[in-house]
Structure 1
Amino acid sequence: MSAPANDRLFRRWTSRLLLSAILLGVCHPLAAAERPNLVFILTDNHGAWTLGCYGNPDIRTPQIDRLAAEGIRFTRALSSNPVCSPTRATFLTGLLPSQHGVHSFLGGERPSAQMGPDAYCTIREFASLPKILKQAGYVCGLSGKWHLGANLTPQEGFTSWITMPHGATTEFYDAQVIENGAVRKEPKYLTDLWTEHGVRFIEENRDRPFFLYLAYNGPYALGRLLLNPARNRHAEYYADKELLSFPRDTMHPWQFHNKDFLNNPTSIRRVAAEISGVDDGVGEILQVLQRLGLDEKTLVVFAGDQGWMGGQNGLWGMGDHTRPIGAHELMMQIPLIFRHTGRIAAGQTSDLLVSNYDFLPTVLSHLGLSDQRPPQSPGRDFSPVLRGETTPWENVAFYEMENTRAIRTDGWKYVARHPEGPCEVYDMQADPQERFNQFGQPAVTDKQRELAAQLDAFFARYADPQYDLWKDGRSKAGRLGGAAGPAAAPPQRP
């Protein structure tokens, strides 16, 4: 779909949404006021396995664990990409990277989309969660990491806005932040700063529907900061801990970045302390909702932007930190928790295989706005599951990072790399750690062909040609090395 076509689609969508809002206001004047608030807490580079409620015995996360106990926790939630900007774009638009065009993290593109005279919002032409909620009568606030472009001024329907000039984190103290349209240095611990602004936003908007996007840049778990001990209030506790939930293993030959962090006790303890710092912030948000009597009026969602590996299989980081680009399960698996007191029963877990592209249609449905779902989204609505109901569901999720695409089903994973491989096939029931690649083995030939056909059919249906990197499309973000080759060269196939 061309850019003008996208613009026309968005104008038609906006006109329908405005008409719907007017009709709702005439026929149901209290409809907007009665809609639930939304608090969406998103963490940065954060694997589900690091949380107590997902089985981690070492890292203290009592507040996130409490949130899970008071709502529903998804055990098999996956991201559709392994890095920040694409996954954040997908959460907010319900679209894949090959639809919204952000295939990698912003920072390598020229000119910069984030700051400067050529900066622009990379999802501006699409319907997005804050745009939809603003039109529906919500006040929208961002506190934390944006990383989707035009960072200096509020984007996408937000009116409250404090963020970072760029996406990368070099340290959590004395960092640059953007507030009131200006860049300044913030001496305070950033995780606490984002929490404080989130609490203030809730307090200031308690009497009207609000959407708080609390986008932590922690735990981050990358960069040279991992060679420095933690400085937050949890540093002392973790200073002498072994933290054996971080496997010690021989470095994988595909590890390309982050080699200094693997098996490094300083790095491991730093990650643990930053996760516990985020947990404190979650506790403060839950406390203010309870104090203001908003628990029954507010849907709280906690998620990670993408998965992260901390030593498993000798790997540290995400898919962009290996060569070839990685598609390991733990690079995809994210925490995903929903709580809405009185509407979502406490103590639930769901084993549905869900993706972050399913987030937008599900949240809109829960808020009573299912008719505003962007029509081109591949996302599915699992909101009946939040209410304890059953819903027809195919356990399948799709993933892409530049030249790498994958399909995950109940029992299998297939990874394809364009144009010349290597490809991977895993029996996820017999080999959940993905240690034995069966690609090309006679025993899995039929399954391999089936998965390859399903993967191709999905992207043939949903990919926008202008952003389909397997067909000479483009990316709004800078490209990693070894990306997709010429369109004439077909991907390796059984």
Structure 2
Amino acid sequence: MRSVLLSLLAIGCSASQLLAAELPDIVVFLSDDHTIVDSSLYGSPDLKTPNMERVAKQGLTFDRAFVASPSCAPSRAALLTGLMPSRNGAEPNHSRPKEEIKKLPAYFQELGYEVVSFGKVGHYRQTPEYGFDIARHFNYHEDVAVPEALKWLDARESDKPLLLFVGTNWPHVPWPEPEDIDPESIKIPLHHVHTPQTCIARARYYQAIKTMDRELGEVFDAAYKKLGDDTLFLHTSDHGAQWPFGKWTLYDEGIRTPMIAVWPGKITPGKRTEAMVSWIDILPTLYAAVGQTAPKELDGQSFLPVLLGETDHHRDVIFTVHSGDGNKNVYPTRSIRTTRWKYIRNLHPEFKFTSHILGDNRPQPYWGSWVAKAKTVPEAARKVKRYLQRPAVELYDLDADPTEQNNLATDPQYAVTLAKLSDQLDAWMKEQGDPQKVYGEPILLSAE
């Protein structure tokens, strides 16, 4: 870098040009609806994600990264504003952040960056509203987005530093036909109902993940080939997949997300961290990586020291919220998570929990097979009921129960822990100005 700067000085470059020469390029690859444990990097016993593993070997893997909300629009709005949904205004799915809020592109454009988006970065057609210099191929499953991003990057000739977002639509539904995956070989999660239809649906889902993984590798390779080693690369997903207890819920399969960061010469390769970070932290972290300090009024906090190996700690607690997804999912809920404990508050336990899954739409119909099996198999009935009906409060010991199956909320042994977490959540919701609004028309359990 010093030799580059001296050369630029010798030919009379301006101060702004010198500043641009010092700024790293940044590439962010976003996957869509990817449950973290459905990858070999995070322990899947039967799904290989070789490009996730390859990228991880060159950087830092986060084992405790979380989104702000487990549905597309509020999750992405939190990423692109550094603010939680109650403060940025994008609470239910398909909603938008407030127009007057400064968005991520503006922070970097002020520094001379070209800020570009291909694919699903904001929530589909909302993407251009965030102020990207270029925003292309952001419609629903416009699957040319990744190859078009690669073509654009290869042909780019600008001297400006680049912040490039590439958002794949995979593994968001509709899942494709499996190519080389045997449905009968798939290991169904223990908290799901094992049926032939479930196996077929998971084979389709696995194929979608394999496509995502291939695209990740293509973008990663193209980024370093074109931009060089002084490039910060980040891969993560907006929330978990469209499976029961995943998307639309605050269980870890809904809110815990894969995250890998690579920055040659700055991030030690092949490491993992248990530092707890949130998607609201990404904006201030990227901003800190280019030498800037984000405004204190943001909810997000830079975890650059974690990237640089200076610490293995960031947050003590993670807050997550979900406010609903149209009339298909009217179920507001809030949570607080520590390294050990998860406390979930279902604001209206009198509501039936519904989601798009219950529609059993092709090409991934499986919910009907769960309901059918529940009529004769008690364990299947328990799982179906658990998805549709929730208590007011849930408490899980994640050390002993990582899949959140044993609710300890009514156990007197954990009353002190329950009260402490409840008080912390109350204080945070008050600080956020959380309106606890019900969006849409709920279905009451009493009406069933």
TM range (shorter): 0.7 to 0.9
Bigger mean CA deviation after superposition, 54-63 or 337-346 = 54-63
1:321-336 equivalences under 5 Å are 326-336=249-259
> Does 2:438 correspond to 1:469?
no
> Does 2:422 correspond to 1:452?
yes
Aligned residue for 1:299? 232
Q: Give CA deviations for 1:205-228 in whole Å, capped at 9, x if unaligned.
A: 5632111111111111x4xx34xx
Q: Is the 8 A contact 1:43 1:217 kept in 2?
A: yes
Shift of 1:453: 0.8
> Does 2:74 correspond to 1:86?
yes
Partner of residue 273 from structure 1, selected from 207, 219, 233: 207
Would the alpha carbon gap of residues 309 and 316 (structure 1) be closer, same or farther in structure 2, given more than 3 Å must change? farther
Aligned residue for 1:256? none
Aligned length: 382
> Does 2:305 correspond to 1:384?
yes
Would the alpha carbon gap of residues 66 and 295 (structure 1) be closer, same or farther in structure 2, given more than 3 Å must change? farther
Shift of 1:48: 1.3
Q: Is the 8 A contact 1:406 1:415 kept in 2?
A: yes
The alignment's TM-score, normalised by the length of structure 2, stands at: 0.78
> Does 2:268 correspond to 1:339?
no
Q: Match for 1:283: what amino acid?
A: G
Name the SS for the 1:236 alignment partner: coil
Whole-angstrom CA distance in 2 between matches of 1:215 and 1:53 = 20
Name the SS for the 1:369 alignment partner: coil
> Does 2:145 correspond to 1:194?
yes
Aligned residue for 1:13? none
Aligned residue for 1:397? 318
Would the alpha carbon gap of residues 48 and 480 (structure 1) be closer, same or farther in structure 2, given more than 3 Å must change? farther
Aligned residue for 1:357? 280
Q: Is the 8 A contact 2:29 2:165 kept in 1?
A: yes
Q: Is the 8 A contact 1:94 1:357 kept in 2?
A: yes
Aligned residue for 2:346? 417
Whole-angstrom CA distance in 1 between matches of 2:302 and 2:55 = 22
Would the alpha carbon gap of residues 206 and 65 (structure 1) be closer, same or farther in structure 2, given more than 3 Å must change? farther
Would the alpha carbon gap of residues 205 and 103 (structure 1) be closer, same or farther in structure 2, given more than 3 Å must change? farther
Q: Give CA deviations for 1:47-66 in whole Å, capped at 9, x if unaligned.
A: 11112211223223211211
Q: Is the 8 A contact 1:438 1:444 kept in 2?
A: yes
Shift of 1:386: 0.8
Aligned residue for 1:288? 222
Whole-angstrom CA distance in 1 between matches of 2:196 and 2:409 = 28
Aligned sequence identity (%): 29
Aligned residue for 1:243? 186
> Does 2:366 correspond to 1:437?
no
Structure 1 unaligned segments of length 5 or more: list them.
Answer: 1-24, 110-120, 170-176, 178-189, 252-259, 320-325, 484-494
Aligned residue for 1:3? none
> Does 2:24 correspond to 1:36?
yes
Whole-angstrom CA distance in 2 between matches of 1:261 and 1:333 = 26
Q: Is the 8 A contact 2:121 2:138 kept in 1?
A: yes
Aligned residue for 2:159? 207
Bigger mean CA deviation after superposition, 54-63 or 66-75 = 54-63
Q: Is the 8 A contact 2:224 2:231 kept in 1?
A: no
Q: Give CA deviations for 1:163-211 in whole Å, capped at 9, x if unaligned.
A: 3445xx5xxxxxxx5xxxxxxxxxxxx1xx1222221332215632111
Q: Match for 2:149: what amino acid?
A: G
Shift of 1:297: 2.0
Q: Match for 2:82: what amino acid?
A: G
Whole-angstrom CA distance in 2 between matches of 1:363 and 1:301 = 10
Aligned residue for 1:156? 130
Name the SS for the 1:126 alignment partner: coil
Q: Match for 1:207: what amino acid?
A: D
Whole-angstrom CA distance in 2 between matches of 1:262 and 1:35 = 53
Shift of 1:241: 5.8
Q: Is the 8 A contact 1:201 1:212 kept in 2?
A: no
Shift of 1:248: 5.4
1:98-177 equivalences under 5 Å are 98-106=86-94, 122-148=97-123, 151=126, 154-165=128-139, 177=142
Root mean square deviation of aligned Cα: 2.7
Shift of 1:124: 2.9
Structure 2 unaligned segments of length 5 or more: list them.
Answer: 1-12, 324-331, 350-390
Would the alpha carbon gap of residues 201 and 82 (structure 1) be closer, same or farther in structure 2, given more than 3 Å must change? same
Shift of 1:429: 1.4
